[in-house]
Structure 1
Amino acid sequence: MESSEELIEAFLAHKELVQGRTPGTIRAYGLRLRRLAAFLAARGIPFTAATLEDLQAFAGVHLHQLGVTPRSRGVSVAAIREFYRFLHGRRLVGANPATHLEPPRVGTSLPYAMGRAHVEALFQTCDLGTFLGVRDAAIIAMLAGCGFRVSGLVSLNEESLEVEVERDGREIIFARVLEKGKHERIVPVPASAWLLLRAYLGHPELDRIDRTLPSGRRVLFVSTRNRSVPEHDYYGEARRLRTGAVREMLVKRGEEAGIPREYLHPHAMRHLFGVELAEGDVDLDLRAALLGHRRSDTTRLYDRMSRRRLRDAVLKAGPLASIRTPVDGLVEELRRRHTESLAR
């Protein structure tokens, strides 16, 4: 008979390798199942002998006494149900005890969407005379202007950026990003975000950082210090900025700008992106594509949708279309020069 830990590890491996679940989901499920294992072990009950009443006692009273919120208890119930479905499929349990395990009923809370004034205030805290100021301004522009999840933002390599030249000579930039479950999407990069990226990529301090991966690709957003990595190993992938560092940067700059704490997380900027697209009357399928929402009727949307439509949607209704950025003057000057060159 396999131990509780061996059963958990087998289940998590199945979720990751067979079903392709994200690392975050794997960690969340592992944490909750090990908590269940400890609860059952204290009562002398192995996983394979647990009853519905045992599982209800854990997911209800026990987690409530630990201070776990109803919404988080719902995640525990989901993990337990999938775990016992896995055990039942391997014939390690007879009847599935979790079949009728119900999650707590909770309301759907509306997410906080960062306001345009908040984003402008964040930009104002970035000193473009410093490397970190330029890097952070580029990160803020990409989060607000492209609607990235923070995991997708930090996963970008320099080669994820693609430049297309239109018939009139204008450069259009797209970012190819991998996010939840390794799903890829293509997002247009607004002009102001691209100028900040160019300033960041052209900064001499970035040239002194070894960010090259074994594949030859280069990490896009780098960290400047990571005490958990020895100095001699601090290159390549180890230089990639972590999601926690992005969150910390937003909190630090947001507090400096006087922005309420509930708005200081990357997803609040993603919500802003979604709200602006909705208020700009952008087509639902276009919004789903730009935000990376995988729905059954839009799974193959990119096969039918032109990049031009995606770009036009972002230029028309994306947050950076109406937010003052540190490079707006330069964007307008470049557009003026381009228009004059076409008129000659």
Structure 2
Amino acid sequence: MTDDQAIDAFLDYLGVARGRTPRTQEVYRLALTRLQEFMHPRSILVADGSELEAFAGLWLHKKGVVAASRKPYVSAVRMFFLWAQSKKLLVSGNPAAELEHPKTGHRLPRTLSLANAERLMWAPDLGTFHGIRDAAIMSLLMGCGLRVTGVCTLNEGDLQTVDLDGKPRMVVLVEEKGGRMRRLPVPREADALLRVYLGHEDLATIDRDTVGKHGRPDRVLFVNTKHPTLPAHEHRGEARRLTRKGVWSMVQRHGEKVGIPAAELHPHAMRHLFGTELTEDDVPTTTTQGLMGHVDPKTTEIYIELSMRKKMRTVDQHAPLAKMRTPIGEFLKRVPG
């Protein structure tokens, strides 16, 4: 079996047997292609442990891949060789068995501030189809904490209405990392935007028929209105689905228009805002974990470090300086606000 055949078979296994997303398969293919480059002209299947360490360490470093970005490379290599061993493609034992992920410093994610999130929600022109679509997408990113992939893969059938205390409320069924399904409540603001979007006359003219979950007929939820390469008669169905890149571009376009810093202009910053605001309001970590779809509770705990308003209230009320008379404390009492 050639390297290319082995990689293709491995990626098929990831998708079918392990339920990994196409995005994960793309990342793993890139990693294994880079390993082929490192091993050339020899097969990656004959690599030994020291060669894999050199690839994942110094070689990738010289190629400009920082430690944090090398983690998926290591994951891809470890899983590939574990699979190759199970298929008896290796001459000896698993050379990646001892390969470790690079050690990285603890870095806090960049979140969108609440003030900038408000400005961003006012940026789309709600008098246009594009504006309604964009506002609905951002309301799901901010209001439900969805990953951008989760939003892009939504179909109309993933929006469901439930009866809550005698009132109809919307929930969304979202598929994200590892093929996991989550059923999430939709905030009223996002609910209203989605209903306006679905009822828009421009959407009614677009062919967005697709096959949904369990092979049932469905319709793509969020659509693009242009395709740079497809002729008009082929621009339908799945080809109408808005991509991750399209969402990123949309967020940046609206954010730049209202002067939001570039570091905050990515969809994941909205997801971080969701997690941070739940933590600021003392929502239990287990509840936040469930709403965000985190498998490991340690991932959710990062929002404790991001919840600055909560920390500020704590030190203002309970730190030693709050419990004693000081010259500056007396002065502050006389200052308005």
Pairwise TM-score range, normalised by the shorter structure:
0.7 to 0.9
Moved over 3 A (4+): none
Who is 1:3 aligned against?
2
SS at match of 1:285: helix
Q: CA deviation at 1:171?
A: 2.0
- Counterpart of 1:62 in structure 2 is 59
Alignment-mate amino acid for residue 274 of structure 1: G
Amino acid at match of 1:35: R
Residue 144 (structure 1) shift: 0.6
How far apart are residue 106 of structure 1 and its match? Answer: 0.7
TM-score (norm 2): 0.82
**TM-aligned CA distance change 1:47 to 1:212, over 3 Å:** closer
Q: How does 1:273-288 map to 2 (within 5 A)?
A: 273-288=274-289
What is the CA–CA distance in structure 1 between the aligned matches of 2:57 and 2:252, rounded to whole Å? 34
Written as runs of structure 1 = structure 2, the 5 A alignment for 1:230-309 is 230-295=231-296
**2: distance between equivalents of 1:256 and 1:283?**
36
Say if 2:75 is the partner of 1:40.
no
Residue 159 of structure 1: aligned partner: 157
Structure 1 residue 108, shift from structure 2 partner: 2.4
Amino acid in structure 2 at the alignment position of 1:28: V
| TM-score, normalised relative to structure 1 | 0.81
Give CA deviations for 1:184-226 in whole Å, capped at 9, x if unaligned.
1111111111111122122111111122225432221111111
Structure 1 partner of 2:172: 175
Alignment partner, residue 132 of structure 1? 130
- Give 1:83 shift: 1.5
What are the Cα deviations for residues 223-256 of structure 1, in whole angstroms up to 9, with x where unaligned?
1111132211111221111111010000111111
Q: Please list every run of 5 or more consecutive structure 2 residues that lacks an aligned counterpart in the other structure.
A: 298-337
The secondary structure found in structure 2 opposite 1:165 is strand
Separation in 1, partners of 2:74, 2:175: 28
Residue 30 (structure 1) shift:
0.9
Q: Which consecutive residues of structure 1, in runs of 5 or more, have no partner in the other structure? A: 297-344
Residue aligning to 1:224:
225
Q: 1:290, CA displacement in angstroms?
A: 1.0
Aligned counterparts of 1:178 and 1:54: Cα–Cα separation in 2? 37
Q: Distance in 2 between matches of 1:87 and 1:235?
A: 40
Residue 87 of structure 2 corresponds to which residue in structure 1? 90
Aligned pair count reads: 292
Q: Which residue pairs with 1:119 in the alignment?
A: 117
Q: Which amino acid aligns with 2:163?
A: V
Distance 2:94 2:272 in 1: 39
**Contact (CA 8 Å) 2:175, 2:182: kept in 1 or not?**
yes
* Stretch deviating more after TM superposition (146-155 or 49-58): 49-58
Q: Counterpart in 2 of 1:146? A: 144
Deviation per residue, 1:58-117 (Å, 9 max, x gap): 222221111111112222122112222222222222122222223321112111111111
* Corresponding residue number in structure 1 for 2:321: none
Paired letter, 2:5:
E
Distance 1:87 1:126, change over 3 A: same
Please tell me the residue identity of whatever aligns with 1:117.
A
Which residue does the alignment assign to 1:196? 193
Q: Tell me the SS of whatever aligns to 2:95.
A: coil
Question: Structure 2: which amino acid aligns with 1:109?
Answer: R
Partner of 2:327: none
One-letter amino acid of the counterpart of residue 69, structure 2: S
Q: Which has the higher contact order (CA 8 A, sep 6+)?
A: 1
% of aligned pairs identical? 43
Residue 287 of structure 1 and its aligned partner are, at CA, apart by: 1.4
SS at structure 2 position matched to 1:185: strand
- Report the alpha carbon displacement of residue 267 of structure 1 after superposing the two structures with TM: 0.7
Deviation of 1:295 after TM superposition, in Å, equals: 4.6
In the aligned structure 2, how far is the partner of 1:47 from the partner of 1:287? 42
